[in-house]
Structure 1
Amino acid sequence: MSSDDPSAALDDAARERVVRLHAGEPTLRERTAILSWRAEDPAHEAAFQAAERLWLDLGAVRAAADAPAAPVTPPARRRAPRRATLAACAAGLAAVLGLGLSFQPAGGWGVAFADVRTAPGEQRSIMLGDGTVVHLNGATALDYRFEGGRRSVTLLSGEAVFAVAHDASRPFTVAAADTRVRVVGTVFQVSRAGDRVSLEVLEGLVLAGAGDADTAALRPGQGRAWAGRRGSRVVPVRIEEATAWRRGRLIYRNASLQAVADDLARLSGDRVWVLGAVAKRQRVTAVFDNRAPDRVFAHLEDTLPVEVTQPLPGLVIIR
């Protein structure tokens, strides 16, 4: 399933220019073209700054990791004045906070402080207070709140299957980006990567949409996808393939390379960018072991006209 998203296209265009600027040796003509593109529209500049900020932050992390350890020196005999000690501590704390506030984990700080989260490659099942069972894929984070007559979950990132406990008096809702899923008691899967959301219904009836005008009813074996507030039509889905991750497999049948990249990000914990028109046109039909993301990257490079590189820790580029 797919849905065109102008904001995603803008982000990709900005990322391509950041990679061209920082990962190679751009010519004067290329630099001028990048500056012209940034000046065309404030949205271009905002997208470029966001992509460049991530690039520079990841570079700072690598520089910190590669820096040699400071030599150990014996303590001075004289005790430093308390004011100087406090000043040094404050400076160190400011440096740490400066990096921390600039460098955000994938999905933002909301993911880091989520009620429930899994590590990349980890799978876990939990039971909520109402008896609903949630099966979480890797790199998944969610918040939940049950109060009064409401049961609500916010999927911050990742992928999860919800087996909702039936309670007609308290509808169960899942929010993922701009999409809202509403049920009483059923089983469905929701995945989120940024503002891209997909839904597959395994059992029961689900109402889902990005706004009242977009809401549609989905039955078992049906699914939809959204990019921001732009939703696709309801389409048939193969449930066994969509939920294959729970059995240790990734199954793709003519899937977009971006869909594969989203899964690889959940497995590896890296940000995975698909850049360039050639890479975006590629489709994948294959079965992989989801415990070996490196093999999936290698397979993509061996079988498709794309190159996989890791210019910085935590960032993989397919182009």
Structure 2
Amino acid sequence: MTRAFTFPGQGSQTVGMGRELAENMPVAAQVFEEVDDALSEHLSRVMFEGPQEDLTLTHNAQPALMAVSIAVIRVLEKDFDVPLATAAAYVAGHSLGEYSALTAAGALTLSDAAKLLRLRGEAMQRAVPVGEGAMAAILGLEMADVEAVVKEAVQDGEVCTAANDNANGQVVISGTKAAVERAIPLAKEKGAMKGVLLPVSAPFHCALMQPAAEEMEAALKETAIQAPVVPVIANVTAAPENDPEVIRRLLVEQVTGRVRWRESVLKMAELGVDSFVEAGAGKVLTGLVRRIDRSLTGLSLQTPTDIEAFATSLKS
């Protein structure tokens, strides 16, 4: 069995995530304390106690989700003696989850990842005035049809693009609000089962995010990046990357670029991966893996019990 570890993106956050880990595993509690220290605030309190509307704020959700993912990895490595480098052949993360993947693989420090994700969330929010951008999920159309829809939807310099290729028949579009709203009925005309606006605060992964990309480029220039202990499948290329300077460049491109998650999973399968382990909050990626290729297996690690069972299975 060849494994990849995957790391969830925004939308997987829930109040209480990571709390059981922190209460039962000192190694996990240390991760949350380190993130709190890096951000000079008690983000962990928002994670454990809410309110949900505060946790959902982009600049909180991004470092919070990363913290839970790294807590899982640290517990696995330090309490159960399962190093990531021996348990996984590749790592990959969905959008902000790519930072979690890089941190898990030793390319970024936990403190730097927390600071970068806080900035990333703030920069994305600043890039487009509230109400001017939107995102929508288009269900039941393949990518070629979605690309035709978004091309038809734009008018007078508007932006509308396929932002997340999540799975077969599950594509998220992003851009100028009017263009995204125009795209939904066009998608239905082409046979989409559903098109629904998403409750997001900004139009991520489209050209409107260019100001945020420039902020991230400046911050990443000042951030040390090491070669990861296992290759990272990059969002924007859906290919394995090891070179720190390439990773740095791709993290900038990722802000405006498409999240090629379906292609990433298929690439890992092509490279021999048959088992996907989702580390952190929720089971979104585990579900997407099965939707992309039903021959692949998926497993979610969120609690001490999950981690112990997984570690035991490796040693049996």
TM-score normalised by structure 1 residue count: 0.29
User: Could you say which structure has the higher strand fraction?
Assistant: 1
Structure having greater relative contact order (Cα 8 Å, sep ≥ 6): 2
User: Could you say which structure has the higher helix fraction?
Assistant: 2
Larger radius of gyration: 1
